[in-house]
Copies of this chain bind each other. A is one copy, B any other.
Amino acid sequence: MIERHVWRLVKRPVGDIADGDLEYCTETLRPLADGEFVLRVTYLSLDPTNRIWMSDQEQYMPPVEIGAGMRGGVCGRVAESRKAGVNPGDLFAGLGEWADHFITDGTGLSRLPEIPGIPLAVMFGTLGLVGPTAYFGLLDIGKPQPGETLVVSAAAGGVGQVVGQIGKIKGCKVIGIAGGKAKCDYVVNELGFDACIDYKSQDVGAELDRLAPEGVDINFEQVGGDIMVAVLKRMRLFGRVPLCGLISSYNATDGQEPPGFWTMMLMRRLTVRGFIVTDFMDRFAEGGMALAGWMLEGKLKTRQDIRPGLENAATVVKDLYSGGNFGKLLVEVTPP
């Protein structure tokens, strides 16, 4: 019998996630049925969309039910198996629970390849999750052309880091937007962005006018709110907006739209397209190969923000919404 720990959603957050919305439980796993296995979780990925899943607003998957184990991106190895072809030690990644162990029939999980020279946290966090989001959102929707100007909000976050570096690989001028000097310095000095605006100490609009007087061809949108409005006002003719997230609004109770933007979309012939990375599921292999290639060539760097201890997950997740993470946020649940 395996004793496990799991975070259960006991209350839908109102506004910010509060203590008591999630409850840390210790339980004994039931015996496996045929076709099931137990995954021992190595890393739990904390992502902006977690807040959406906790709510019952309109969303792209069913909300997590009250009382259920909180849904999360996970990777880990099989601890026990009664499923044919699945053996202890096998590595899987996909959707699971905020738990150190969970029972599954494999739905929502797929085998995670291991590439020599790429650590598991990078393979899972960057190549498995945020990398494809950046890759398909930027290339399929943003369609970057050499010499174009690309703006990336949440630039030092998991997705933003990769978006900006792919933008540079594709020959764009890349301007990040991030909170604080350390993050801005990092994306410029370590990742090679052309510039980064610190939204905590600078006027985003004024800085965009200074850094990109030509305007913005691609706005890879992750945050919404005032920062989005400042960028959208400066979109160029035929600009593209891959709409990846609106993190500033997930905890908010009312919507935010830039006034007059429909007229601007028409006059400047803009394209706005919302997407979720799973829309590109059938092309994940293509994305993963390209990303791994760039990584092994040294063209794509990545930064993980790994926090120890499943018991801290409900506190750590709040950092996503306050800008407290620096790189792809993972919780190390059990040692890799």
Contacts and interface: CB of A to CB of B under 8 A. Distances in A.
Interface of A: 57-60, 224, 238, 243-246, 249, 254-257, 259-276, 279
A317 B224 CA distance: 39
Given A58-B267, A271-B273, A274-B268, A257 B249 contact: no
A279 B244 CA distance: 27
Contact of A224 (B255, B257, B262): B262
A274 B249 CA distance: 25
Contacts of A243: 262, 265-266
A32 to B, nearest CB: 35
Contacts of A271: 271-274
A163 to B, nearest CB: 16
A34 B246 CA distance: 58
Listed residue (A259, A264, A266, A272) with the most chain B CB atoms within 10 angstroms of its CB: A266
24 contacts: A58-B263, A58-B267, A59-B267, A60-B267, A60-B268, A60-B269, A238-B279, A243-B262, A245-B266, A246-B263, A246-B266, A249-B263, A255-B261, A255-B262, A255-B263, A256-B262, A257-B259, A257-B262, A265-B273, A265-B274, A267-B274, A269-B279, A271-B273, A271-B274
What is the count of identical protomers in the complex?
A: 2
Contacts of A245: 266
A290 to B, nearest CB: 22
Contacts of A244: 266
Nearest to A272: B272
Contact of A263 (B57, B238, B259, B267): B57
Contacts of A261: 255, 257
A254 B262 CA distance: 12
A272 B264 contact: no
B279 A274 contact: no
Contacts of A60: 267-269
A139 to B, nearest CB: 16
Contacts of A259: 254-255, 257
A266 B274 contact: yes
